[in-house]
Chain A
Amino acid sequence: MPVHVVIEYSPACPRCRMAERVLRRICDELSVPLVVRRVGSEVPVLGSRFTKHPTSIHHTFTEEFARRQGRSDAASAIAGLRRAGIDPSELTTTPVIRIVYSGVRGRREIIIRGFPLSRENVERAAANIYALLKALTGGR
């Protein structure tokens, strides 16, 4: 099954650095193409979090999306933030890992938002992603 991985990273983000390092290692071992897409800003004064850089998941921080998924608590939280003057869909959320694969029933994407930083969690996440990619590539 053809698989490729896309990571959307911000340069001033330790989680992105960790995710990229882990994914590079896994993808090199499994011979899976890794696409690195840079979003966010490097300017430390402005802060990359508060600059609009759309990623693959910015639309998930909307009330409409949360309601469609049946998450009324998330919808009310987003509504509260918007009332406070913060639109979460306008913020840059990185890292985003997209595992894109195509099967007989069309193209599918598994989108992972965020990445852990502690050593234990990184190892667990790496093991899970490795197992998933190995299963998708047919256990080569």
Chain B
Amino acid sequence: MSSVVSEAAYIMTSAVLDLIERIRRWRRRREMFERVTRAERRVRRPPPGYFGFVRVGDRARIVGRATRIVVDAPFMGQTEYEYTPEIHMYTTAEEVVSPTWFDTLKHLYEAVRKGASARGD
């Protein structure tokens, strides 16, 4: 009889202790998941449907427009954007006919480049 009681007391105690341990483990897991979710939320992500180049954390991500293929590469820095105006070179039919047509084009290009550098473009 006494062995049955002691056995029952052992099972009950161990069940209660197991339950407490399991609850503590659930709490720990929930904290961990919350931490991960918070860290993921902090990282900038492209909105759904976005394609092209986007910076995700320290990675450069390129999302394909039609294929949705995602390519990640380490972000090495942004190249400086440089504005270059449209260049128009005007010639006439006489210049096109002449045998020095390519020299004319060269002179035109040099003149345009000098003008652009003088303007500070």
Which A residues contact B (CB, under 8 angstroms)? 57, 60, 105-116, 121, 124-125, 128-129, 131-132
Contacts and interface: CB of A to CB of B under 8 A. Distances in A.
Contacts of A132: 101-102, 105
B88 A128 contact: no
Main secondary structure of the interface of B (DSSP, over half): mixed
B95 to A, nearest CB: 8
B86 A129 contact: no
B88 A109 contact: yes
Nearest to A68: B115
A116 B86 CA distance: 28
A113 B97 contact: no
A109 B87 contact: yes
B85, B88, B94, B102: which has the most chain A beta carbons within 10 Å? B88
Interface of B: 84-94, 96-99, 101-102, 105
A110 B84 contact: no
Contact of B90 (A113, A121, A128, A131): A113
Contact of A128 (B86, B89, B96): B96
B93 A114 contact: yes
A114 B88 CA distance: 16
B96 A111 contact: no
Contacts of A115: 93, 96
Given A128-B101, A132-B105, A113 B87 contact: no
